[in-house]
């Protein structure tokens, strides 16, 4: 079963390929994605890595959390599913 991890506090220079490269030594990666602003295309400073094996994801979390990358300590933990209907409002500028 696959497991997705959250990677926060990424340097702005990290793209999808660099993120995959940073985490590849811990196991087989299904997907590595850096989240970017839909208007500017600039990184939002966080991303997600999905491992094929749960144990590999756990090892990556343990070893990469707080690791310094380009002067920034990464925040790495298990990704939480997005909750539908959560209290956090979504920006919707097209409301009537």
- Give residue 14's pLDDT: 96
- Give residue 83's pLDDT: 74
pLDDT in tens, 5-35: 999 999 999 999 999 999 999 999 999 999 9
- Taking the C-alpha atoms of residue 70 and residue 77, their distance in angstroms, rounded to an integer, is 19
- Give residue 1's pLDDT: 80
Q: How many CB atoms lie within 10 A of CB 34?
A: 21
Domain boundaries, the chain: 1-45
Distance separating the N- and C-terminal Cα atoms of the chain? 43
- Which residue from 37, 39, 40, 57 is spatially nearest to 48, judged by alpha carbons? 57
> Based on C-alpha coordinates, what's the Rg of the chain?
15
- Give residue 89's pLDDT: 57
Tokens standing for residue 58 = 């756990």
pLDDT in tens, 35-89: 999 999 999 999 999 999 999 999 999 999 999 999 999 999 999 987 766 555 5
For domain 1-45, is the CATH number 3.30.70.330? yes
């Amino acid at each position: 079963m696959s497991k997705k991890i959250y990677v926060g506090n990424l340097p702005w220079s990290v793209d999808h390929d660099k993120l995959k490269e940073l985490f590849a030594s811990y196991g087989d990666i299904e997907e590595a994605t850096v989240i970017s602003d839909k208007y500017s295309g600039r990184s939002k400073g966080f991303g997600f890595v999905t491992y094929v094996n749960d144990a590999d994801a756990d090892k990556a979390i343990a070893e990469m959390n707080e690791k310094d990358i380009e002067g920034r300590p990464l925040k790495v933990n298990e990704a939480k599913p997005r909750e539908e209907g959560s209290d956090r409002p979504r920006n919707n500028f097209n409301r009537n």
